[in-house]
Homo-oligomer: A and B are copies of this chain.
Amino acid sequence: MPRFRPLLVCAALWFLALVPARVRAETGAEAWLRYRPLQEEAARQYESLPAGIVLLGDSLVLRSARGELIRGVRGMLGRTLREERDLPPEKAILLGTFSEMKALVPGLESRNKLHDDGFLLATQNVHGFDCLIVAAPTDRGVLYGVFALLAKIARNESLSPLQDIQQPAAPLRWVDEWDNLDGRIERGYAGPSIFFENGNVRADLTRAAEYARLLASIGINGCAINNVNANPRVLENEFLPQLARVADAFRPWGVRLSIAVDVSSPQLIGGLNTFDPLETRVSEWWAKKFNDLYRLIPDFAGVVVKADSEGRLGPATYGRTPADAANVIARALRPHGGIVFYRAFVYNHHLDWQNPKHDRAKAAYDNFHPLDGKFDDNVIIQIKHGPIDFQVREPVSPLFGGLEKTNEAIELQVTQEYTGQQWHLCFLPPMWKEVLDFDLHAGDGPTPVKDVVSGKTFHRPTGGFVAVVNVGMDANWLGHPLAMANLFGYGRLAWNPDLDAKEIAKEWTQFTFGNDTLVVRTISQMLLESWHTYERYTGPLGAGTLTDILGSHYGPGVESSERNGWGQWHRAGHEGIGMDRTAATGTGYVDQYRPPVARMYELLRTTPDDLLLFFHHVPYTYILHSGKTVIQHIYDSHYEGAEQAANLLQQWQSLAGHIDEDRYAETLKRLEYQAGHAIVWRDAVCNWFSRTSGIVDERGRVGHYPSRVEAEGMQLQGYVPFNVLPAETASGGQAIECVPPARDCSATLRFAGAAGWYELDVEYFDQNNGKSKFRVLIGDQVVDEWIADALLPASKPGGDASTRRRISGQALRPGDTIRIEGTPDGEEFAALDYVEIHKLP
């Protein structure tokens, strides 16, 4: 029998658990589990709540359930529930599995046929007292029931009488973390890893335990903690005890540990000269490895595999299939109850871009559809929701409809790799809902994606949901104070994909910011608008995000998709734009869908505008269903998107005084940045298309910035102009920089407008390899100064670095000089793009 380590992290949580009634700083660390005191009136309805809890049975998870209920009620209602050993002679709250509860509450189980992880909340008379019952088939279900009960109280819902049965849509509801052992996180935007540092598991796993609690509260039951581009070291014998410490931190919350593994591990760390999955030595190696691992972690969940993709080795090395690779590992795991998530994200990134038939979107289906039925029953194919890679808009992956005899899971992305990296607000559940509700026409009657991945459509034994989350050591987990709405929304949809995005936004806001009507309405509205807003100022009409796909995946980089083997082509040229993926004239990708879907996408007429350019190449003058030309839509949507980003900021500002200062200020900072960066996006994309298409914006905006003064056009001292690449990521293609040994550079302009009150927008470049200083003077008067010290994903001037500083409330008079002084630092040369001068009303 394995020895479970004493849970030091739990002791620490105990302490926290007892203090919620006192005031705490709003760092965001508590996420949606804040348990703040209810308003007096709202609390009154819970006065008849029983005073005691009877826990039937005993386990780490059950004790977490009881502890959480005590903590939550303590926080919200200011009462400490009593831990009763036996049924007291009064009403009580009963927690337990159906089997433990049978003796005390006969007939309870027979009323409810629940899957694993489901639960029942009910009021029922027990020995003459009206008890409140949280019952479930499993310990984990009881824990989920407790969180559901606390959620009702947090939202001020009535508990009497209580009769609520909930069960998850699918058995597998996981998160993946792309953490490297050195502590850095691939596509992570909120500080270093909560699991690893310096090549080892962190000594202090407090945050890992807190994370498991958050995950449990939204029904997540598995977590793969390391990068899918896996370091083989995780399977080395001396590393396994370190993994066991993470499993210990997860265990009280019913979250099972998983790791990503390198399929070449038998060779890399196993001392074999092969990792051919069909070699006996290889299968024996895997079997022994998992025997060792399970001795330390008896509830280990299984592994995630990325192979034959983006430079990773895989079965192709030996001419073997993904099924061969998956099965050899799956068979080693099966005796222990472990599973394999095999990622369908397998594609050739050396595609010939000049071949009009080549199409990366086809890769997953091409690779995995032929293997349908070849995978063992404890293998799940993990399929990204779209055929490319988490773009702001993609069609549903056709592979979902292409595997009938294979377990599937959908892979979503909470970390906003292509959707603003938590510098931008982008609430993704509305997008996920469109994906999950999409009818694949894969059987009789509706076959939405959600039913396929849950295993329902094809009667699979298992299946479910995975999201790449990449939380970090930042106190608020994801960087942006509003970004955790995506993790919450993911968990809620994985539990119940029929939920409405609007309801999810409301729930999250209530839990995170309280029940103030204005706050709930405003933040919900902001969340719900944000995805479309982001899409509008980045890449509309299904053309992809139009970001720099070769590096940061962040700022604008329209051409980065083209003329390379990565296959994220949008094929924008002088005459038109879009990937022809039709069967008739294109890559034939549409034929990977079932016929009713294929027919819709094959024809221009029936393809929805918002995916037009994903499926068709059209001239810029093509008229959309909306009546606009494609080119004018590109212009208009970008201007609309930038305006909406400015509006997000205004909506937030309307909440001043309604929200704690800490979260208000941090969110304000990010929304101010976003509003500025949306203009960078707008201008880069519009100018690129204007230049490429030669078609002018019929509303005369693109390329005309009457209030803008280019830095390179100012009177410069020390500063020198340079070309920014790609050109559209700086206004006019140029900026100025203060190259050492120059120290104090300045750019001066003479104001020639009318006297009045103005705001100045200074567009500068904030890189992560220096902290330049800026000062702005009107005449000799310093009116603003700042340090460019944000941690944007940029080491050179361009769209990733471009940042707006708004200097409001300045009185200007004709003839005034406006001087911007820059002092370089490190590799950051205080680069400036332009100044805009706007008259205030």
Interface residues of A (CB under 8 A from B): 14-15, 18, 21-26, 51-52, 74, 77-83, 88, 90, 660-662, 664-665, 668, 755, 757, 778-785, 807-811, 813
Task: Contact check, B80 vs A811: say whether CB atoms are below 8 A apart.
Answer: yes
With A21-B808, A88-B813, A90-B755 as known contacts, state yes or no: A783 contacts B80, CB within 8 Å: yes
Task: Contact check, B665 vs A23: say whether CB atoms are below 8 A apart.
Answer: yes
Task: Specify which chain B residues have a CB less than 8 angstroms from the CB of A80 in the assembled complex.
Answer: 778, 781, 783, 807, 809-811
Task: Contact check, A77 vs B809: say whether CB atoms are below 8 A apart.
Answer: yes
Shortest Cβ gap from A758 to chain B (Å): 10
With A14-B782, A83-B781, A782-B18 as known contacts, state yes or no: A811 contacts B78, CB within 8 Å: no
With beta carbons under 8 angstroms apart, the residue of B24, B82, B811 that contacts A81 is B811
Task: Contact check, B82 vs A778: say whether CB atoms are below 8 A apart.
Answer: yes
With A78-B809, A79-B809, A781-B83 as known contacts, state yes or no: A661 contacts B23, CB within 8 Å: yes
Query: Given contacts A77-B809, A80-B811, could you give 19 more A-B pairs where the C-beta distance is less than 8 Å?
Result: A15-B785, A18-B783, A18-B785, A23-B664, A23-B665, A23-B668, A51-B811, A78-B809, A79-B810, A80-B778, A80-B783, A80-B809, A80-B810, A82-B779, A82-B781, A82-B813, A83-B781, A660-B660, A661-B662
Q: Which residue of B lies closest to A53 (CB)?
A: B781
Task: Specify which chain B residues have a CB less than 8 angstroms from the CB of A779 in the assembled complex.
Answer: 82-83
Task: Specify which chain B residues have a CB less than 8 angstroms from the CB of A88 in the assembled complex.
Answer: 813
Kindly state the separation between the CA atoms of A52 and B785 in the bound complex, as whole angstroms.
20
Q: Which residue of B lies closest to A90 (CB)?
A: B755
Shortest Cβ gap from A650 to chain B (Å): 13
Task: Specify which chain B residues have a CB less than 8 angstroms from the CB of A82 in the assembled complex.
Answer: 778-779, 781, 811, 813
Kindly state the separation between the CA atoms of A14 and B786 in the bound complex, as whole angstroms.
12
Kindly state the separation between the CA atoms of A186 and B685 in the bound complex, as whole angstroms.
66
Q: Which residue of B lies closest to A755 (CB)?
A: B90
Task: Specify which chain B residues have a CB less than 8 angstroms from the CB of A26 in the assembled complex.
Answer: 661
Task: Specify which chain B residues have a CB less than 8 angstroms from the CB of A661 in the assembled complex.
Answer: 23, 25-26, 660-662
Kindly state the separation between the CA atoms of A77 and B840 in the bound complex, as whole angstroms.
13
With beta carbons under 8 angstroms apart, the residue of B18, B22, B778, B784 that contacts A18 is B784
Shortest Cβ gap from A812 to chain B (Å): 9
Task: Specify which chain B residues have a CB less than 8 angstroms from the CB of A780 in the assembled complex.
Answer: 83
Kindly state the separation between the CA atoms of A313 and B820 in the bound complex, as whole angstroms.
61
Q: Which residue of B lies closest to A809 (CB)?
A: B79
Task: Specify which chain B residues have a CB less than 8 angstroms from the CB of A757 in the assembled complex.
Answer: 51, 79
Kindly state the separation between the CA atoms of A9 and B79 in the bound complex, as whole angstroms.
51
Kindly state the separation between the CA atoms of A6 and B783 in the bound complex, as whole angstroms.
21
Majority secondary structure of chain A interface residues (helix, strand, loop or mixed): mixed
Kindly state the separation between the CA atoms of A90 and B25 in the bound complex, as whole angstroms.
49
Copies per complex of this chain: 2
Q: Which residue of B lies closest to A666 (CB)?
A: B23
Q: Which residue of B lies closest to A70 (CB)?
A: B781
Shortest Cβ gap from A759 to chain B (Å): 9
Kindly state the separation between the CA atoms of A783 and B19 in the bound complex, as whole angstroms.
10
Kindly state the separation between the CA atoms of A755 and B88 in the bound complex, as whole angstroms.
12
Task: Contact check, B808 vs A78: say whether CB atoms are below 8 A apart.
Answer: yes
Q: Which 8 A-B pairs have the closest CB atoms?
A: A51-B811, A79-B809, A23-B665, A78-B809, A83-B781, A660-B661, A80-B783, A82-B811
- Sample of 12 A–B contacts (CB below 8 Å): A14-B782, A18-B782, A21-B808, A23-B665, A25-B661, A51-B811, A78-B809, A79-B757, A80-B809, A80-B811, A83-B779, A88-B813
Shortest Cβ gap from A132 to chain B (Å): 15
Shortest Cβ gap from A515 to chain B (Å): 12
Kindly state the separation between the CA atoms of A597 and B452 in the bound complex, as whole angstroms.
96
Q: Which residue of B lies closest to A83 (CB)?
A: B781
Shortest Cβ gap from A827 to chain B (Å): 24
Q: Which residue of B lies closest to A81 (CB)?
A: B811
Q: Which residue of B lies closest to A787 (CB)?
A: B15
Task: Specify which chain B residues have a CB less than 8 angstroms from the CB of A77 in the assembled complex.
Answer: 809
Interface centre among A74, A77, A783 (most CB of B within 10 A): A783
Shortest Cβ gap from A663 to chain B (Å): 10
Task: Specify which chain B residues have a CB less than 8 angstroms from the CB of A51 in the assembled complex.
Answer: 757, 811
Shortest Cβ gap from A171 to chain B (Å): 35
Task: Specify which chain B residues have a CB less than 8 angstroms from the CB of A784 in the assembled complex.
Answer: 18
Shortest Cβ gap from A446 to chain B (Å): 47
Q: Which residue of B lies closest to A84 (CB)?
A: B779
Q: Which residue of B lies closest to A82 (CB)?
A: B811
Task: Specify which chain B residues have a CB less than 8 angstroms from the CB of A24 in the assembled complex.
Answer: 665
Kindly state the separation between the CA atoms of A24 and B662 in the bound complex, as whole angstroms.
9
Shortest Cβ gap from A819 to chain B (Å): 14
Q: Which residue of B lies closest to A37 (CB)?
A: B656
Kindly state the separation between the CA atoms of A808 and B81 in the bound complex, as whole angstroms.
12
Kindly state the separation between the CA atoms of A79 and B807 in the bound complex, as whole angstroms.
10
Q: Which residue of B lies closest to A79 (CB)?
A: B809
Kindly state the separation between the CA atoms of A783 and B78 in the bound complex, as whole angstroms.
12
Q: Which residue of B lies closest to A778 (CB)?
A: B82
Q: Which residue of B lies closest to A88 (CB)?
A: B813
Kindly state the separation between the CA atoms of A662 and B24 in the bound complex, as whole angstroms.
9
Kindly state the separation between the CA atoms of A826 and B175 in the bound complex, as whole angstroms.
46
Task: Specify which chain B residues have a CB less than 8 angstroms from the CB of A21 in the assembled complex.
Answer: 808-809
Shortest Cβ gap from A668 to chain B (Å): 6
Task: Specify which chain B residues have a CB less than 8 angstroms from the CB of A23 in the assembled complex.
Answer: 661, 664-665, 668
Shortest Cβ gap from A77 to chain B (Å): 7
Task: Specify which chain B residues have a CB less than 8 angstroms from the CB of A18 in the assembled complex.
Answer: 782-785
Q: Which residue of B lies closest to A806 (CB)?
A: B21
Shortest Cβ gap from A395 to chain B (Å): 42
Interface centre among A21, A661, A779, A807 (most CB of B within 10 A): A661
Shortest Cβ gap from A27 to chain B (Å): 11
Task: Specify which chain B residues have a CB less than 8 angstroms from the CB of A807 in the assembled complex.
Answer: 80
Task: Specify which chain B residues have a CB less than 8 angstroms from the CB of A81 in the assembled complex.
Answer: 811
Kindly state the separation between the CA atoms of A41 and B80 in the bound complex, as whole angstroms.
46
Task: Contact check, A811 vs B781: say whether CB atoms are below 8 A apart.
Answer: no
